[in-house]
Structure 1
């Protein structure tokens, strides 16, 4: 199996530093990238479960590639309304999941890190 590319390894460590109170699992993808899962992440009271996991893939092209899409556990909106068009049900890494499609169209690789994107996705979920 291929080791993580240096930039991917740094990104994984930055995710761990960003989410110090949460278990972070990083699994090599075999091509220098990593599948990352942050466990027990607070996603807000807008959902029937206020915590879930958040997963994503950091490809070997990082930092030149966006971290997209993100995945979370299957949660329902507390108000009973359906999820919006940016969220759909899928299976990811053998887990039932919701895929969150929030592309960063004007991303700057020097600023828009994997850790920052994960936090922005968490906040976006909490604000729904």
Structure 2
């Protein structure tokens, strides 16, 4: 899982390491503190999330307790799918500096998209993998 909510704002675990493999230690510490305090919530089901980084290869979020018995659909994405979304997300932000983007965007009707972008012109681009 690569995105969760902290005080209502979307946060991404992959932002801990940039494209040059340099670790943002302040961001990492803030996610660790939020995780310890129980302030990270799953984007999909609202359950408590923990932040994992250090002894694992890829920074990620995981359910603290799987109360749904694997029922949260957000945790079922493969690592390849997640990395693909990250790649497209970063390319779009680099190509269009004024764009707003979000991975795993939830619409007001409850539906999800894998990627969501809103251009300065107001046009929107929604990507959903099947």
Tell me the TM-score normalized by structure 1.
Answer: 0.31
Higher helix share: 2
Q: Does 1 or 2 have the higher relative contact order (CA < 8 Å, sep 6+)?
A: 1
